């Protein structure tokens, strides 16, 4: 399959706008479940407002949240796919910039030192673009995630030591949720990276935070941690918006990687309740959009 880069540029643009407007069905279902279980009056009222907002965004064809986030594109290249990698990256950048200018939504991206905003949602090394490969044939997939800053500003890495054991991982996750309070726009998806190197650990926490609700860690040890940590953080009573309640997190997601004999790293990255994602799949038949 030969990839049409014009189509990629168009999709990179469409994906950003689509992600900002429409929540994936798994997140909507997550809201429904949290709302059904919520016992705290303020928490219940806030969940009601958030569920209403999802409908208002769809009815008025508007963005769910004002924060257009830091744009992330995850790309999977299948077998038998012919594409110029550097040109693919450029096509995604162009599409990202066009979405901002043509829709006229907020460019949230500035230079880290001068703080100058180019008003394109782009800058040095942004959008963040990750390339990976898949066994599936004749297919290229692009996932777009506008990662909100309220949740991203609450990201942590701890290089614990082996003597601290798995207790250090569990304690760290609970303490991060307490530290975040309402700043991350709970209910959140708490993404936890366990193991790897420092950078891989943080990267895993982001993968975990942006995974669909209902998905499980492929590592059974990670899956066990997901279950127990989800229960534990929802005992804290932080609640929606940090104003009290049962619904502190939709879920805790864990991703793991092997690590060094001397290391025990743990990272936490959170996804806010506006857990936006959009996906485009390119096949020889054309492009289809989903989540």
Partner 1 sequence: MAHYDFATPVTEEQVRKLRVNDTVTLEGALYGIRDATQIHLFDKGRKTRFDLRGHAVLHTAPNVKKVEKSITCPAGYAPVCIGTTTSDRMERYTRPLMSQYGARIVIGKGGLREGSAAAFSELGGVYLAVVGGAAALETTWIEAIEDVDLDDLNPESLWKFRVKGFGPLLVSMDSRGGSLYTEVNRAARVKRAAALRSLGVKDR
> Which residues contact partner 1 (rule: CB under 8 A)?
42, 46, 49-50, 52-53, 56-57, 60, 62-68, 104-108, 115, 117, 119, 148-150, 153, 167, 170-171, 174-175, 178, 181-185, 228-229, 231-233, 235-239, 241-244, 272-274
Q: How far is the CB of 149 from partner 1 (least distance, A)?
A: 8
Please return the burial class of 116, using the count of CB atoms within 10 Å of its CB with bins 0-12, 13-18 and 19+.
exposed
Nearer to partner 1, 70 or 233 (CB): 233
Token pair recorded at residue 185: 């726009």
Q: How far is the CB of 188 from partner 1 (least distance, A)?
A: 11
Angle, CA 201 vertex, CA 133 and CA 239 arms, to 5°: 110
Nearer to partner 1, 139 or 145 (CB): 145
- Tell me which residue of 188, 205, 187 sits closest to 196, measured CA to CA: 205
Q: How far is the CB of 174 from partner 1 (least distance, A)?
A: 5
Which residue has tokens 């949240």? 65
How far apart CA 64 and CA 105 sit, in angstroms, is 12
Nearer to partner 1, 207 or 243 (CB): 243
Nearer to partner 1, 102 or 199 (CB): 102
Q: How far is the CB of 1 from partner 1 (least distance, A)?
A: 36
How far apart CA 50 and CA 104 sit, in angstroms, is 24
How far apart CA 201 and CA 257 sit, in angstroms, is 8
Nearer to partner 1, 57 or 251 (CB): 57
Nearer to partner 1, 186 or 193 (CB): 186
Nearer to partner 1, 78 or 245 (CB): 245
How far apart CA 178 and CA 156 sit, in angstroms, is 13
Q: Are strands 286-290 and 264-271 parallel, antiparallel or unpaired?
A: unpaired
Question: What is the number of other CB atoms lying within 10 angstroms of the CB of residue 225?
Answer: 22
Q: How far is the CB of 10 from partner 1 (least distance, A)?
A: 21
Query: In 3-state terms, what secondary structure has residue 264?
Result: strand
Q: How far is the CB of 119 from partner 1 (least distance, A)?
A: 8
Residues 6+ apart with CB under 8 A from 184: 150, 151, 154, 270, 272
Nearer to partner 1, 148 or 191 (CB): 148
Angle, CA 63 vertex, CA 58 and CA 64 arms, to 5°: 75
Q: How far is the CB of 39 from partner 1 (least distance, A)?
A: 14
Task: Confirm if 157 and 276 have CB atoms less than 8 A apart.
Answer: no
Q: How far is the CB of 105 from partner 1 (least distance, A)?
A: 5
């Amino acid at each position: 399959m030969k990839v049409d880069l014009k189509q990629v540029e168009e999709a990179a643009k469409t994906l950003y706008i689509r992600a900002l407007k429409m929540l994936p069905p798994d997140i909507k279902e997550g809201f429904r479940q949290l709302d059904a279980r919520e016992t705290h009056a303020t928490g219940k009222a806030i969940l009601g407002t958030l569920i209403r907002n999802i409908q208002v965004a769809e009815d008025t064809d508007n963005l769910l949240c004002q924060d257009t986030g830091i744009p992330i594109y995850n790309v999977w290249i299948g077998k038998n796919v012919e594409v110029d990698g550097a040109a693919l990256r450029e096509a995604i950048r162009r599409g990202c910039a066009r979405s901002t200018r043509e829709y006229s939504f907020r460019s949230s991206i500035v230079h880290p030192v001068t703080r100058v905003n180019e008003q394109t949602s782009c800058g040095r090394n942004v959008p963040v673009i990750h390339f990976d490969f898949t066994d599936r044939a004749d297919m290229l997939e692009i996932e777009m995630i506008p990662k909100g800053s309220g949740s991203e500003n609450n990201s942590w890495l701890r290089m614990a030591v082996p003597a601290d054991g798995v207790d250090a991982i569990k304690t760290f996750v609970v303490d991060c949720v307490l530290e975040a309070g309402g700043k991350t726009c709970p209910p959140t998806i708490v993404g936890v990276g366990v193991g790897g190197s420092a950078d891989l650990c943080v990267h895993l926490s982001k993968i975990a935070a942006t995974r669909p609700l209902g998905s499980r860690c492929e590592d059974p040890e990670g899956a066990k941690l997901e279950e127990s940590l989800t229960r534990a953080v929802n005992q804290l009573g932080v609640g929606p918006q940090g104003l009290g309640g049962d619904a502190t997190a939709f879920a805790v997601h864990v991703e793991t990687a092997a690590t060094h004999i001397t290391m025990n790293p743990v990272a936490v990255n959170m996804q806010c309740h506006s857990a936006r994602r959009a996906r485009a799949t390119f096949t020889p038949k054309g492009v289809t959009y989903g989540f």
